[in-house]
Structure 1
Amino acid sequence: MSSNEEEKLLSYNGEVLIFQLSQGDLAKEGTAKTCRLRVRRMTFNRSTSTFIQKSTGIFSMHGEYSGFEMICCSCAADFRTGINLPCVVIRRNKKKSVFKYFLLLLHSSNEFEQRMNFTLDYEMKDDIKILNGPSILWRHNRTSFYISSQNDTIVSAPVEFSSIKWAGEVENLGTILFGVGEPHSTNRESSERSSKSDYAVWGTEFYAYSVESQKILSGSYFLPHAYGSVVTCIHICATKVVNTVLRISLIALTQKNQLIWFQDGIPKNLCQLPFQDPCALQVMASDGGDLLYIVSFRSSDVCAIWKKNFQVASKWQKVKSVLVDDFVGTGTEQLLLDFKDTFNTDCLTSFKITDLVDVNYSNDAFDPMENDLFEHNLQENYSLTVQALERRLQIGLTNIQELQKHLLLKERVLSKSCKALVGLVQGKAYIPPYEEKDILVSLCGEKKQLPHSLKEKSSDTYHDSEHVIEKMWYRVLEDHLVVGVEIKNSFLSFLNDVTLSLLMDQVCTSNPPIIQCKNSVIKLDKVSFPATLSSPCETESVAKRIKLTLHNKERKNSFHDQSSDANCIQVFTVVTALSPLLAFHNFCCIVMLHARWGENSGRFGETCTVPCGKLSLSIEDISSGKYSVTLPEKNKPLKEPMEDLCTLLAVFHKFCFQITSPDCTLTSVKIWLLRHMECETVKEFPDSFLCKSLGALNGTLFSWKQKSPFEGILTVY
């Protein structure tokens, strides 16, 4: 493709339409310019695994001193016939600040029809979409405009959208524009008084505007308010009106690189995407009856996600364009990936067609017979495997029936156990009916669930937590909620296998679910002892030249970890994802501690459960940074050294390195961290170093434990 040509791809009835806009040369007088829009219809040949040109069409445009540009292309229904036809929007720059726009329809005879033209004194840039009619939607200076080929009149929406997330037709409502705008109750005076963090969350609101009825609908039918600042793109799956109430199922992409399924404004499922910055979303019906969500990223990456389990099915990189249609002619949809080719800039020179089940075609030059062998093996092995599959299905059906009975019993046990556990936390005795006693299993043991010393002090659960728990705290770090619990030193020797769990404490749920989380134990030394015989001001080059002496060897045998239990802090932490909890405006949960007690308790020792307390977190707290941990600037310490440091250690990835030097003493590791790595010692914990240098290592934590003058362990978080 030459430098003065522009190219776009569009799928239509199993064909690939390649639109090429070529700028012609100026006339001799220099007053006119010719531009040609060419379309090539390409069909896929299964025998050769290549695309073949079926037909072509040309549309010529003329203008004075003007440049033509292809804005977008899409398929839309023509209101005269109701048939979907390919549409192309062309822009012509007539003068310095005058732009003329054309909408062209492509018919089956490859003839272009100009259905619409209008002139603007500005350039369309934001949220340009082609809708049925055909009609054009765009946004300029927070105002949305709409023009249809039925009346050729530009209409503006009364809602000031900062961005349009979706536009299309909804049953019983007509054409709907769905986007984000300022709430009606927000004015400049109130926004000036409110903080920036509050305005970032509450200064936006979802709206839906009906073009036909010219009415504004509440966005609560679509998405929760808290997602207004993070959702980047949505796709409406299904809509219906039940008892005058609008019910909507949709999927959305977020700035947190997530794909979320919403049902009637409530999040139902979530998938963490494998790449950064998602920008587009398509839906494909696979041969197996399940749906695939195709997500495109600004980095030219693409991934496919199964609807049935919200797991990533496959991912690709260096993709130029993605199309969904029945290219092979099997009656179901496939995915066409057009890859970037460094040796050829034309379209469809490097592609792949797949439905992630049976269809798999590629024009890979290194394995041209891959697809033929694949189809041949499928037919040959079909008769050999069908009988074995039938036998396995019969056995599988029997196992499924047994599993269903087992799952029903488990559900009953969990339901009743949760009620008993909530009653225990609230100080209420739960007495099950006689027929339920046989399925309940005690989670907390009998009265002898804590050490004897504790029994003498108190008998009820509330006082137990006061005597056992020294402190409970919680922090927010990016998309993580971290809860920490400190146990009093007098009980550390009695408790083993300590874990924490989080239980939802919501009024709307009768059986509080357990939140999925990750446990860890963190030990911190308050006092740091000299680890070398040399002065700390010695440089690394001098320290490495110190040779072994007899005195060094004697010191090596007597050098041990001198930290005592009195100078060591032991914190038990639990980490969970914060994003699924954003659906609740005020989130509250109960923190429970589980352990085995006794000085010689083994794997079969007595168990105990201690409630540590409740924590509550609201979106206002998150937006204001009340519990957030942020990396401090240079020469500024952490606000809460112990809690903030434990939060970083619980979330960060951990790597341990054993450093040994058989010939020279290790005298300069801390100097290397402080000087060369630009680290600063964490207050109260001199063995922990926080890197504050600019670059990729900013925020990295180092921990140096020197076992002897010749050996130490460097831990990198």
Structure 2
Amino acid sequence: MVQAQIMSGKGERKSDLHFKRKTFSQEEGKFVCTSEGNATFCSHSTVTTEIVCFSTVTVSENGLSEPCILLKHNSKKRTNFKYSLLLFHCTNILEPCLEFKLQYEVTDNVTVLNGPTVLWTHGNNVYCVSSKSNIISIVPVSFSSVKFIGEIKTKGIAIVGVRECTAEEEHDSQSDQAVWGNELIAYFLESQSIFDGALFLPHAYSAVVTSLLILTVEGTEDNLETSVIAATSKNQLIFFEGGMPKKVCQLPFDGPIDIRQATTGRNEVLFVVAFSSGKVCAVRKECWQVVSSWQNVQAMHIDDFACCGSDQILLIFENSSIIEDNLENFTLTDVCEITFTSGLVLIEELQKQLEVKDQILMKSSKALMNLVYGQEYSLSDAEEEGLVSLWDEERSSQSSSSEILAVPKKLPDLVDKVWQRVIGDSWVVGVNLKDAAYLSLDDISLSLLMDNDICTAAPVIQWNSNMLHFSKILPFVSFRPCQAEPNPKRKRFEPSATFSGSAYDEESFSQIQKSELWAVIAVTDLSHFLAFGDQNCTVLLHATLKENPQGGWKGGDRVIFQCSTIHFSMEDITLGRYLPKLMMNSELLTGYGSVGGRSEVQESADEEVFHGLSFPAQVKVCSRTADLDQI
């Protein structure tokens, strides 16, 4: 969290921006200042500087998510207004990334989105300016009122508003626009396309909707599928799907003005509604009911303040002040498992619970590290008595922690090779298996253990794992094709005879056809690692064993293999060393090669590419139509 304040000296011709970067300390139950800085704006005594808004955006140049602040510099005559957007870097450096001048003051629908891009409304027009062009442009659609300005994952920046009907449309008495006197219009900034607002919600709701939150927009222009949350002046929260209302929830307060989404613990989704009277309520998506509400709220923010991998709601109440650099009178909650309130009386009990959690986490981390490096770690009986399952599941009395994590000594080495590729904006890590006969292929995945020298807390990064199955060609033994001879002339093949390659061995060829290759891959967004630079990661393979009485292990046992250590290098990515190596001759992918010797693929290619993923040369792809979108 970044806290900023404008400080002007009396009689001085300058304005100072004092900012602090704070993190929430669960042990102390408060926000602690980690760094601070100052920025001075030299100006005339007739010019004042004010804060317009804060936001957190993804910078297009480096892909990092950074907080920013929009400032307004205006003269006392209020004839000229200059706006500047500043980025807060982690090194306590303010970077000016956008400046523009206007003849009027921006007051309505000021929004800062990724890029960064600044949008606002003035009159019936919507204006925008981005850091790339630094040129103010106007949206070619006039809106009498704007209901939504935001960014949609698949369509980019979208603007949804109400447009009054023209004289020609009013003559058409059968149209919805003529009946209600106005219509909803959706405009997508990047594609410069206009859509009928009825795809989001009926035109009849345009007069009563006070705020919109667009969840998804998928499909083509001819077949657009949407899901929208709308708050109305009737104090209702309505869920629309495909332009039709599906769920309705009665809100407890009047005047809803803003809707935000929060993904809390256990993947529960909350829709947080703010009201003009300083009240806030939370509606759970699953049951579509109000689960909590607050009053006298001055500001509301949603982010992962507790660094636990999910969102929390930060509510700063009225009459809140900063005493000895500490924020007073606030609540941090996810309406599920986490709730921190300033001035909590039972702070000692909370600290004891945190100490116990820290001890368990430290011991669990130590046990995991010992497992990775092949060392044994055991808890005493006294320590095991107080442990309970972290998940709502029954504890098996027949299996212990050592049976779940220990790798059987008789289990052969299953890992053939570990590789990595960069495809588009994704980082792909794969493990080729020598033999998957001992593993349950329905329950197998990869994870990466990062070096924690660069940060105090390991980042929570989501990986998508999948199992790929290919037919594999072993090196062919050359033979001469010949016509089949009559049975009396065929020479019987003796088991003791040495196979010279001159005879046709149907059993060997059948074995070649049945050869298979299994590869486990994990895919994540490359932008997660850009902030950490060069990094060593340990690749761990999580799997469940099959039943094998001869091997000395039981079916269903969970094991973790330490496959290898890979190096994530920004220099190698810049030089394109991890990019797939595409083959110029597409005919090499259509067959197994010649049967009289090594194929052209085996002779010339070190690697083969299968739909954008590069595999080692011994992996022979039998199909060119496989779909890797399931990864």
* CA positional deviation for 1:243: 8.3
Q: 1:164 to 1:248 in 2, by over 3 A?
A: same
Residue 228 (structure 1) aligned with residue 203 (structure 2): no
| Rounded Cα–Cα distance in structure 2 between residues aligned with 1:200 and 1:381 | 73
Residue 352 (structure 1) aligned with residue 331 (structure 2): yes
Deviation string 1:26-74 (CA, Å, 9 cap, x unpaired) is 34xxxxx211112111111111112110001222112221111111111
Q: Aligned AA for 1:336?
A: L
Q: Which residue of 2 aligns with 1:214?
A: 192
Q: 1:367 aligns with which of 324, 328, 346?
A: 346
Q: 2:40 aligns with which of 60, 84, 89?
A: 60
Is the Cα–Cα contact under 8 Å of residues 171 and 240 in structure 1 kept in the other structure?
no
Q: 1:76 to 1:376 in 2, by over 3 A?
A: closer
Is the Cα–Cα contact under 8 Å of residues 250 and 263 in structure 1 kept in the other structure?
yes
Q: 1:270 aligns with which of 245, 248, 259?
A: 248
Q: 1:165 to 1:278 in 2, by over 3 A?
A: same
Q: 1:384 to 1:45 in 2, by over 3 A?
A: closer
* CA positional deviation for 1:231: 0.9
Deviates more, 1:351-360 or 1:310-319: 351-360
Q: Aligned AA for 2:4?
A: F
* CA positional deviation for 1:350: 1.4
| Rounded Cα–Cα distance in structure 1 between residues aligned with 2:100 and 2:72 | 10
Q: Which residue of 1 aligns with 2:621?
A: none
What secondary structure sits across from 1:159 in the alignment? coil
Q: How does 1:107-118 map onto structure 2 within 5 Å?
A: 107-118=89-100
Q: Which residue of 1 aligns with 2:65?
A: 84
Is the Cα–Cα contact under 8 Å of residues 233 and 280 in structure 1 kept in the other structure?
yes
Deviation string 1:538-565 (CA, Å, 9 cap, x unpaired) is xxxxxxxxxxxxxxxxxxxxxxxxxxxx
* CA positional deviation for 1:348: 2.2
Deviation string 1:136-173 (CA, Å, 9 cap, x unpaired) is 11111111111111111111112111222222333553
Q: Which residue of 2 aligns with 1:670?
A: none
Q: Which structure has the larger Rg?
A: 1
* CA positional deviation for 1:371: 3.1
Deviation string 1:292-333 (CA, Å, 9 cap, x unpaired) is 111111111111111001111111111222221222222222
Q: Which residue of 1 aligns with 2:306?
A: 328
Q: Which residue of 2 aligns with 1:34?
A: 14
Residue 123 (structure 1) aligned with residue 130 (structure 2): no
* CA positional deviation for 1:340: 2.3
| Rounded Cα–Cα distance in structure 1 between residues aligned with 2:85 and 2:392 | 58
What secondary structure sits across from 1:25 in the alignment? coil
* CA positional deviation for 1:190: 6.6
Q: How does 1:4-403 map onto structure 2 within 5 Å?
A: 16-27=1-12, 33-64=13-44, 65-94=46-75, 95-171=77-153, 173-184=155-166, 202-241=180-219, 244-341=222-319, 348-369=327-348, 371-372=350-351, 390=394
What secondary structure sits across from 2:254 in the alignment? coil
Is the Cα–Cα contact under 8 Å of residues 144 and 163 in structure 2 kept in the other structure?
yes
Is the Cα–Cα contact under 8 Å of residues 85 and 106 in structure 1 kept in the other structure?
yes
* CA positional deviation for 1:227: 0.6
In structure 2, list runs of 5 or more residues that go unmatched: 361-383, 396-631
* CA positional deviation for 1:272: 0.6
Is the Cα–Cα contact under 8 Å of residues 341 and 349 in structure 1 kept in the other structure?
no
* CA positional deviation for 1:357: 1.9
Q: Aligned AA for 2:85?
A: L
Q: 1:382 to 1:215 in 2, by over 3 A?
A: farther
Q: 1:185 to 1:220 in 2, by over 3 A?
A: farther
Tell me the TM-score normalised to structure 2 length.
0.53
* CA positional deviation for 1:24: 2.5
| Rounded Cα–Cα distance in structure 2 between residues aligned with 1:342 and 1:136 | 30
Q: 1:358 to 1:293 in 2, by over 3 A?
A: same
Q: Aligned AA for 1:54?
A: T
Q: 1:211 to 1:249 in 2, by over 3 A?
A: same
* CA positional deviation for 1:18: 0.7
| Rounded Cα–Cα distance in structure 1 between residues aligned with 2:115 and 2:294 | 35
| Rounded Cα–Cα distance in structure 1 between residues aligned with 2:82 and 2:244 | 43
* CA positional deviation for 1:363: 2.0
Is the Cα–Cα contact under 8 Å of residues 153 and 216 in structure 2 kept in the other structure?
no
| Rounded Cα–Cα distance in structure 1 between residues aligned with 2:120 and 2:31 | 34
Deviation string 1:387-435 (CA, Å, 9 cap, x unpaired) is 99859xxxxxxxxxxxxxxxxxxxxxxxxxxxxxxxxxxxxxxxxxxxx
Q: Aligned AA for 2:292?
A: S
Q: 1:227 to 1:246 in 2, by over 3 A?
A: same
| Rounded Cα–Cα distance in structure 2 between residues aligned with 1:387 and 1:149 | 46
* CA positional deviation for 1:183: 2.8
| Rounded Cα–Cα distance in structure 2 between residues aligned with 1:294 and 1:377 | 32
Identity over aligned pairs, percent: 35
Deviates more, 1:368-377 or 1:266-275: 368-377
Is the Cα–Cα contact under 8 Å of residues 304 and 312 in structure 1 kept in the other structure?
yes
* CA positional deviation for 1:185: 5.3
What secondary structure sits across from 2:19 in the alignment? strand
* CA positional deviation for 1:382: 8.4
Is the Cα–Cα contact under 8 Å of residues 24 and 305 in structure 2 kept in the other structure?
yes
Q: How does 1:370-519 map onto structure 2 within 5 Å?
A: 371-372=350-351, 390=394
| Rounded Cα–Cα distance in structure 2 between residues aligned with 1:147 and 1:376 | 49
Q: 1:251 to 1:70 in 2, by over 3 A?
A: same
Is the Cα–Cα contact under 8 Å of residues 301 and 315 in structure 1 kept in the other structure?
yes
What secondary structure sits across from 1:158 in the alignment? coil
Please tell me the root mean square deviation across aligned C-alpha atoms, in Å: 3.1
* CA positional deviation for 1:255: 0.8
* CA positional deviation for 1:368: 2.6
| Rounded Cα–Cα distance in structure 2 between residues aligned with 1:385 and 1:81 | 41
Q: 1:371 to 1:387 in 2, by over 3 A?
A: closer
What secondary structure sits across from 2:350 in the alignment? helix
What secondary structure sits across from 1:300 in the alignment? coil
Aligned residue pairs total 365
Is the Cα–Cα contact under 8 Å of residues 235 and 254 in structure 2 kept in the other structure?
yes
Q: 1:237 to 1:39 in 2, by over 3 A?
A: same
Q: Aligned AA for 1:137?
A: L
Deviation string 1:496-546 (CA, Å, 9 cap, x unpaired) is xxxxxxxxxxxxxxxxxxxxxxxxxxxxxxxxxxxxxxxxxxxxxxxxxxx
| Rounded Cα–Cα distance in structure 2 between residues aligned with 1:347 and 1:321 | 16
Is the Cα–Cα contact under 8 Å of residues 48 and 73 in structure 2 kept in the other structure?
yes
| Rounded Cα–Cα distance in structure 1 between residues aligned with 2:78 and 2:141 | 30
What secondary structure sits across from 1:153 in the alignment? coil
| Rounded Cα–Cα distance in structure 1 between residues aligned with 2:110 and 2:388 | 54
Is the Cα–Cα contact under 8 Å of residues 321 and 337 in structure 1 kept in the other structure?
yes
Q: Aligned AA for 1:113?
A: E
Is the Cα–Cα contact under 8 Å of residues 201 and 229 in structure 1 kept in the other structure?
no
